[in-house]
Amino acid sequence: NTFCADVYSEQRIITEGVIPRDIIESALRFRPDCMGMKPPQGIWCHISGIDLVRNSDGSWCVLEDNLRVPSGIAYVMKNRTAMERVLPELIAKFKPQPVNDYAQQLRAVMDLIAPGPNSAMAILTPGLQSSAYFEHALLAEQMGIALISPEEVTLSDGYLCYRTDRGLQRLDVIYRRGDTEMFADLDLGEDSPDSVAALIELCHQGKLTLANAIGAGIGDDKVIYAYVPDMIRFYLGEEPLLPNVPTYLCWREDDRSYVLDHLDELVVKAASAEGGDDMLVGVNSTAAQRQAFAEKIRQKPRAYMAQPTVYLSQIPTVVDGGIEGRHTDLRPYVLHQGDDIYVHPGGLTRVALEQGKLVVNSSQGGGAKDTWVLET
């Protein structure tokens, strides 16, 4: 959050040489038109999903930061409901901390950044075509706010509104569940042909607040990720509690040469991709796939980074009536509540259901497990 606030204001992290300017300005989701923006309470990153992995030696590290639209919380809640029905005696015995108050905690964030006690709020969803639509609907119901899609939104008298059966309803706070590109689908009238720019201007004017803020997506750029330990030292004067996975940045000539020579043992990721898209797992790749990625890296070195293969820890998993080990990671959800930071007790444990597979994303066939936080 401090990084986003700095990047869109004083840019001390650039002027003091911590991160090169061209790395910031070449990030796909850096928004120059957000310069000078001051979101309510100074919060840019309202919702974060931090992907953690445990190595085979038992040590933990941070794999990725998700600051655009981290998803999966509905799996957390529904997995617990299923466990309560299937194994109620275990739940009663161990008493894991409840996970069903996430929507209330998120509503508290939106109340905090709202302009008043009767502010109009909504979740903006890409629609039924989104794989996470059921999560959008669940959260809207539990938070007691509207669920709207881009075609329902318009501008009226200089404010963003959505259409209802009672006419237009003004919007004050939107929890957006899609990338900035989703806003391009908004029809805000002939006076606002660039709907993204129009929304950013409304945010500048204090007429609209978005969670997460437009521009916060720079924080989960996978090249920027490599600089997070330096950010912690620069802004907080502290050492990171958890390390990053060692990262090779392909825009650096030495790193690029190493990556190209070791594609068969590295994991290569696109800086702005998500859900396991545009990624090469070298140990499971073919020669043709490695050749294709090598060409991508040579053409757009800033767009790619690479890491050593992390052999994610395994947990027992029921497979065909038996118990086998499957690779897994953990995504805790973190909410910025002003003077307090709320960490949801549990998080999303994702599991690669295919034997030996290291990609746990649900979009790549991964599953999820109920995660317990117990009283010590």
Please report the pLDDT score of residue 302 as a whole number. 96
Please report the pLDDT score of residue 193 as a whole number. 66
What are the pLDDT digits (tens) for 106-153? 999 999 999 999 999 999 999 998 989 999 999 999 999 999 999 999
Which long-range contacts (C-beta less than 8 Å, at least 24 apart) are formed by 299-303?
301/250, 301/251, 301/256, 302/23, 302/26, 302/223, 302/250, 302/251, 302/271, 303/250, 303/270, 303/271, 303/272
Please report the pLDDT score of residue 179 as a whole number. 83
Q: How many CA atoms lie within 13 A of 233 on its CB side?
A: 11
Please report the pLDDT score of residue 146 as a whole number. 97
Q: Domain residue spans in the chain? A: 2-240+313-369, 248-308
State the pTM of this model. Answer: 0.92
Q: Residues of 25-37 as b/e, b for ≥16 C-beta within 10 angstroms? A: eebebbbebbeeb
Please report the pLDDT score of residue 311 as a whole number. 86
Domain 248-308 falls in which CATH fold?
Dna Ligase; domain 1 (3.30.1490)
What are the pLDDT digits (tens) for 33-81? 999 999 999 999 999 999 999 987 889 999 999 998 899 999 999 999 9
Please report the pLDDT score of residue 191 as a whole number. 62
- Helix, strand, coil percentages for the chain (3-state, nearest 5): 35, 25, 40
DSSP string, 174-185: EEE-S-GGGGGG
In the block, residue with structure tokens 């953990």:
330
Look at strands 121-124 and 173-176 and give their pairing: parallel
Contacts of 276 (CB under 8 A, 6+ apart): 359, 361, 363, 364
pLDDT along the chain (376 residues), means of 10: 98 98 95 96 96 89 92 95 96 95 97 94 94 96 96 91 92 93 76 81 96 93 97 98 96 98 96 83 93 97 95 90 92 96 94 85 84 90
